[in-house]
């Protein structure tokens, strides 16, 4: 997999995932919506750690910094 996520994108996803996790475990969000958001937070964390977003690939989006040779 070629990386297609920059560091700012990764940090934003991690922050959103942490916020969703805190809201879920404090009981602010619950039920079906809570479970869907926890799954989304897990996907955000996974994609942040591997620096690859599968939804970016079909659209040709890349937030990585361009390396000049």
pLDDT in tens, 22-61: 999 999 999 999 999 999 999 999 999 998 888 888 888 8
pLDDT at 21: 95
Task: Classify burial at 34, counting beta carbons within 10 Å of its beta carbon; exposed 0-12, middle 13-18, buried 19 or more.
Answer: middle
For residues 62 and 37, the model is more confident at 37
Residue 8 is encoded by which pair of tokens?
Answer: 């700012």
Residue ranges in 1-69 assigned as alpha helix (H): 7-25, 31-50, 56-59
Residues 20 and 17: their CA atoms lie apart, in Å, by 5
Q: What is the pLDDT of residue 48?
A: 93
pLDDT per residue as tens digits for the range 7-31: 899 999 999 999 999 999 999 999 9
Q: Which residues of 43-64 are buried (b: 16+ CB within 10 A; e: fewer)?
A: ebbebbeebebeebeeeeebbe
């Amino acid at each position: 997999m070629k990386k297609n996520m920059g560091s700012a994108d990764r940090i934003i996803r991690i922050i959103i995932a942490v916020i969703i996790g805190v809201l879920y475990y404090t009981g602010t969000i619950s039920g079906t919506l809570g479970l869907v958001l926890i799954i989304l937070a897990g996907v955000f964390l996974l994609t942040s750690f591997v620096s690859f977003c599968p939804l970016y690939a079909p659209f040709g989006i890349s937030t990585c910094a361009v390396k000049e040779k």
